[in-house]
Amino acid sequence: MTRDKDGGRAHRVYEALASGSGGVAAKQCFYFGFVLLISALLAISASPLVSSPQYLVGLGILTLATIVAAISPWPKIDRRWAGLLPVVNIGVAGALRDVFRDDAPAVALLAFLPAVWLAFFFLQSGTVIAAIAVTVSLSLPTLLRAFPLIDSVLITRSMLIPLAVAQICFMVALARRRALDERKRTQQALHDKDALLSETKTQEQLLKNIIDTVDIGLVVINCSGGIVLENSAYRELEKFASSSSAKIGESTLIMRYPNTEARIPDHQRPLHRAADRETFKNNVIAYGGSNGRGRKISSSARQIIGLDGERSGAVVVFADVTAYFDAARRQNQFVAAVSHELRTPLTSIIGYLDLVIDGEELSDNVSANLDVVLRNSEQLLKIVEDLLGTQTVRDNGVDLAREVTDVSELTRRACETMAPAANDKQIELELRIDETPSIAVDPARLTQAVINLLSNAIKYTSAHGTVSVTVSSNHAEAEIAIGDTGIGMTDEEQTNLFTEYYRTPSAKNHHIPGHGLGLSITRLIVLAHRGQISVRSIQGRGSTFTIRLPLT
């Protein structure tokens, strides 16, 4: 503790001596102590001179100046008065040097320290004052004593010390000026930095206030996937869907595929996908519990590109679309009710049309007309059945009756079912079916999913095109890939492909019939099997849909 106090005291003394505008008493005491030390050394060999009246008067004046410097309230006094002390010190140095002018002329060097003090304190003006004071105190007495025998040699010799003092003071003043200018620039830079930092904090707080007022969850992540910014709406969503009361993170959230109990794996969750440089939109996920207690959240992600053109992170937004899904569910229930009411009379109409066509002799014209009526009635009944099937899956999920099934054989039978449709359009059906391990699936539902994809491939492929079916497996999953050489899709169309009732503009432009329900049903079936379905497509060159099913 004592060492710390001594160190602190020494530091304060050093600061006082080094101060350019303060520390007057410290500087004066330092100089007084230095003169006393020199006087003590001189007294060893020249005590009569040190004890002479002139020398003692000089020490007295220096002592009085030191006492005044010690007791004066310098912070309250105009700093220009402090310049009197080094001038007095220079005068005393001249008097002491005059006593030792023959024995120790080097005593004149005592004038250097107060001269430097003046230059350090008052810069250029202090340099001029110091040069004048040294000239008057040291050179002038020498010239007066030699008068009238003054020559150029004497003048030069007597002016050497004032000129040396002037040069040293000039260099000190110049260095001090540069130091002050640099300090000023540094202070200005620090002020600008503080102002910029304050403005940045203000803008940051404003941004936080703004994003906290919107009811859409917002998350900004960096290149490594760490969260940089999140708003209160997203934090509330995290609390709602968290399965843990401890640390909350995306991996702890309850996320399900919509209308299923299947949990979404970590690598398919929004923040993880955004961190993997993926851009997507309208990715609907069920957050929280099932049985009506969860929320439907639409997530979208965009990558952030910096000024240097490099990726610096991503922005992910989460919009609560539960209300829209509830409204759509009510609308779908109405559609289902209407469809159910239409199914019975349509079935009756088709039955009676079959009886009329098969039971009586009809003219060719009447028979052709009845065939048209029958085909349209069957088409209408198929639409009604699709609507009812979709509503059943949406409301109740996909109930699976799992059986150990050979997926290769199941796909082969589905291809046989769709072969006539392919032949009618003169489409080549290419099969590359490897034997796969038998797995527990719902044969009827999986067959429905494969036939839906085959039907679409045939529908969207022109005559003389090709539809390929590939079945393979690895150590973890079985894969069914159905490709075609049809019209293909744009990236935008692929984004919304599995949305109910969505039909691509390309399909509409080619006048290809459909309701936009088959792929949404297929997706729900695959997800119910805890599998994945994906699509790769190039506009004008065709599409490939791939179903992956876990082997365990």
- How far is the C-alpha of 237 from the C-alpha of 230, rounded, in Å? 11
32 shares its domain with 117 = yes
Residue with the bigger pLDDT between 477 and 343: it is: 477
Residue 23: domain span: 2-188
308 shares its domain with 331 = no
Domain at 536, CATH number: 3.30.565.10
In degrees, rounded to 5, the angle at the alpha carbon of residue 160 between the alpha carbons of residues 156 and 165 is 150
Q: Residue 229 pLDDT > 80, yes or no? A: yes
Average pLDDT, the chain: 81
The predicted-structure confidence for 370-399, as pLDDT tens digits, reads as follows 777 777 777 677 767 766 666 666 555 566
In degrees, rounded to 5, the angle at the alpha carbon of residue 122 between the alpha carbons of residues 21 and 127 is 145
Distances (CA, A) of 489 to 205, 279, 494: 44, 17, 6
Global confidence as pTM: 0.43
pLDDT recorded at residue 48: 82
Residue 253 gets which letter from DSSP? B
The predicted-structure confidence for 311-330, as pLDDT tens digits, reads as follows 889 999 999 888 887 887 77
Residue with the bigger pLDDT between 352 and 37: it is: 37
If one counts the domains in the chain, the total is 4
pLDDT recorded at residue 7: 57
pLDDT recorded at residue 94: 81
| Number of residues that this document lists for the chain | 552
- Is 198 inside any structural domain? no
Closest by CA position to 528, among listed 442, 458, 464, 462: 442
Best mean pLDDT range from 59-63, 88-92, 317-321: 317-321
312 shares its domain with 383 = no
pLDDT recorded at residue 513: 59
Among candidate residues 349, 378, 396, the one where a domain is terminated: 396
Q: How confident is the model at residue 431 (pLDDT cuts 50, 70, 90)?
A: very high
Q: Residue 248's Cα: distance from chain center in Å?
A: 19
- Is 204 inside any structural domain? no
68 shares its domain with 164 = yes
42 shares its domain with 80 = yes
- Is 209 inside any structural domain? no
Among candidate residues 396, 430, 449, the one where a domain is terminated: 396
Among candidate residues 305, 320, 335, the one where a domain is terminated: 320
- Is 337 inside any structural domain? yes
- Is 210 inside any structural domain? no
% pLDDT > 90, the chain: 16
| Lowest pLDDT segment from 145-149, 435-439, 535-539 | 145-149
Q: Residue 144 pLDDT > 60, yes or no? A: yes
163 shares its domain with 32 = yes
Residue with the bigger pLDDT between 265 and 367: it is: 265
% pLDDT > 70, the chain: 84
pLDDT recorded at residue 208: 81
The predicted-structure confidence for 478-530, as pLDDT tens digits, reads as follows 999 999 998 888 877 777 777 766 666 666 665 565 556 778 888 888 988 88
408 shares its domain with 372 = no
| Lowest pLDDT segment from 54-58, 90-94, 169-173, 243-247 | 243-247
Domain at 332, CATH number: 1.10.287
447 shares its domain with 392 = no
The predicted-structure confidence for 202-214, as pLDDT tens digits, reads as follows 888 887 888 888 8
- Is 195 inside any structural domain? no
303 shares its domain with 332 = no
74 shares its domain with 174 = yes
- Kindly calculate the radius of gyration of the chain based on its CA atoms and give it in whole angstroms: 49
79 shares its domain with 166 = yes
First to last CA, the chain: 72
Residue 239 CB partners (closer than 8 Å, separation 6+): 248
- How far is the C-alpha of 281 from the C-alpha of 220, rounded, in Å? 15
383 shares its domain with 521 = no
- How far is the C-alpha of 200 from the C-alpha of 227, rounded, in Å? 19
